[in-house]
Structure 1
């Protein structure tokens, strides 16, 4: 049986009533503004590079582990499912999910930490702010503007996703300034972002979907890699219960199918819980338009308290058994050195940057601008390119195999 597509809820973002684009454009006869945003993100160079950027495992460690791209696609699929069930705009939700990791450096959070440390004197580095810089400044595909000229709704959703305004403390304010650097000549546009206490419902869905995806899929990758065993899951109540139920239903189920079934069931449990809890919160809050959701003091899209605790327990398990596993830590130390070396080298001698990255006349005159240009260049690298660039500049590139 095919489930009917739900009607749009009154609190859903509406592409016909949105705040539009900074640079006005002719509307499409076949796609809404949010569909066009999604399509522009998919066709961007930054999106394609996600295929060769680390999620948890480096490409050298295996062909079947998730990359930043496959993780992003999985987040988008989960987000779209939740959005449709809640009557939200699933095109905007998908656009937010597809764009949420565009600003990641090579080697995942390890590369981000290394680049942030070198950039600390110049304002630091944050992948969320970098996502905004990519979408508003760095991508160059159109003759009349830099970036992708996405709608206000998409940009605001990326700025405020996760339930906390970006401008919450001094450091986040600096990242916000970096991310919206292209709007320096239009303060009214820049000030229009993050003026609400909460993100749109669509942005909240994308954030919840991100959590669901990396919990379940990192667990699958960790099991596949042998970093921990199915027996080790007895430490975590929900996965242990799901595993026991799968064993009871199919006593002779091979371990590889059990792992995949576990992943599938966990995603389903969290998605169904998020839909049920969000419906309850929306019924209590009774928002009647998109800005009413943004004006609330807390999220309307979330896991129930019991499932939120289960999610936290999975995170703690993965942190102890996977993210801090000696096999991964040793590789991360070497990957961190590659990014650190590159950042320090280019900051000390920006003339080493490729010609197209040193065209600005004030590059050498302004150390802060120079450092930001360096971080833009390094953040855009894939894992493979970072290694090759290190080999070009140094004689002792760490072996990541």
Structure 2
């Protein structure tokens, strides 16, 4: 047995049997790979806005890197690599323009109708908004992935307010498919494939964002390592954002332990040899973190094939500290940089205005694919959710363009 049964391969909407040499899970991966929402990630903010630097990651390149890390780790544990790959490729589909800044703006706007969360929006895209399959009554079934792949893509398998005050994985009007995909799953527990996806996301995010920060000139490694005021600022922010129960001394000790590694890069001058050394550092860190998690999980559950709910991913305490420290470096020198505060404020204001402008001009101002949703929405809350679906689908650039077009149309109408 491969660890997956008939229920794991079931799809929410029935589909005719296809003659194909591909497995059900290979078809899932292909559906996500060809999805419009995956292509749009190329123009969505990861940490730095796309177009501001030719080197830095966007959400698409980040997702591809997460898939590479997750696929290899999942395969080493015994998971079907295509299930993990699908979850990793899909994990950021629901993120709106401007990254977490845009997510916060939409969450505030929708607070009275259940809020906005990128992971809940991902489920909505996979099961409703993407165009691929339909139910017999004509309702969209999104990409109609298998139960195993949908469950693996569900980072937070609970409703808002039940486990975490802000992180959740499903809106109330998507509970039907959520209940279906969670059939047989322990309440609020993530399957192993989802845990691998989440860990791969953390690993790729922390390592590659530090690489981008160094190449972009925002992070000079020697400053945080040698300047006392910088060390203190970094340690306090890292504890506040990522390691709340960790003493500052332990955070700094972890940073110093990473620095003592033979592959750590203390300086970067932009030359090819320097970039190669930095690339080696990122590769060594990813290998280190993945190997530690694989070894720890097999130490607990043995060396057999591990899938679904047969095991939980075991990540050593030291590895979690090191990942948190690298996240803290990116947060300190990129996400909280003072010169970005004004940009963040402008982006939030633009998202808020876009929602207001579309409210005034709906349904004509909506894209055709969302007009049917508006026409079938039963109340104002559902109509607001449709508007947010459109805004969340935008890239950074298309958000600016749509805002400009709608503002221009409004001005023309008043003249």
TM-score (norm 2): 0.80
Distance 1:151 1:143, change over 3 A: closer
Where in structure 1 do 4 or more consecutive aligned residues deviate above 4 Å? 170-175, 243-247, 286-289, 360-365
Distance 1:222 1:107 in 2: 18
Aligned partner of 2:310 in structure 1 is: 292
Aligned partner of 1:192 in structure 2 is: 183
Deviates more, 1:229-238 or 1:99-108: 229-238
Deviation, 1:288, is: 7.6
Q: How is 1:95-134 mapped onto 2 (pairs within 5 angstroms)?
A: 95-134=86-125
Distance 1:172 1:327 in 2: 27
Deviation, 1:245, is: 5.7
Q: Secondary structure at the match of 2:45?
A: coil
Deviation, 1:318, is: 2.3
Would the aligned equivalents of 1:237 and 1:310 in 2 still touch at CA under 8 Å? no
1:375 aligns with 2:369: no
Deviation, 1:377, is: 0.3
Would the aligned equivalents of 1:126 and 1:175 in 2 still touch at CA under 8 Å? yes
Distance 1:268 1:374 in 2: 42
Q: Secondary structure at the match of 1:255?
A: helix
1:32 aligns with 2:32: no
Aligned partner of 1:257 in structure 2 is: 276
Would the aligned equivalents of 1:13 and 1:200 in 2 still touch at CA under 8 Å? no
Deviation, 1:334, is: 1.9
Aligned partner of 1:385 in structure 2 is: 398
Distance 1:40 1:311 in 2: 31
Q: Tell me, which stretches of 5 or more residues in structure 2 are unaligned?
A: 226-230, 232-254, 409-415
Distance 1:384 1:374, change over 3 A: same
Deviation, 1:267, is: 1.3
Deviation, 1:242, is: 3.1
Deviation, 1:257, is: 2.9
Would the aligned equivalents of 2:191 and 2:309 in 1 still touch at CA under 8 Å? yes
Aligned partner of 2:66 in structure 1 is: 75
Deviation, 1:256, is: 2.7
Tell me how many residue pairs correspond in the alignment.
369
Across the aligned residues of Structure 1 and Structure 2, the Cα RMSD in angstroms comes to 3.0
Would the aligned equivalents of 2:13 and 2:141 in 1 still touch at CA under 8 Å? no
Aligned partner of 1:176 in structure 2 is: 170
Deviates more, 1:255-264 or 1:108-117: 255-264
Distance 1:35 1:116, change over 3 A: same
Aligned partner of 1:242 in structure 2 is: 261
Q: Secondary structure at the match of 2:13?
A: coil
1:152 aligns with 2:147: yes
Deviation, 1:241, is: 2.1
Q: Which of 351, 373, 381 is residue 339 of structure 1 equivalent to?
A: 351
Aligned partner of 2:338 in structure 1 is: 326
TM-score (norm 1): 0.82
Distance 1:331 1:193, change over 3 A: farther
Aligned partner of 2:12 in structure 1 is: 22
Deviation, 1:384, is: 0.9
Aligned partner of 1:166 in structure 2 is: 158
Distance 1:86 1:233 in 2: 36
Would the aligned equivalents of 2:95 and 2:121 in 1 still touch at CA under 8 Å? yes
Distance 2:20 2:368 in 1: 40
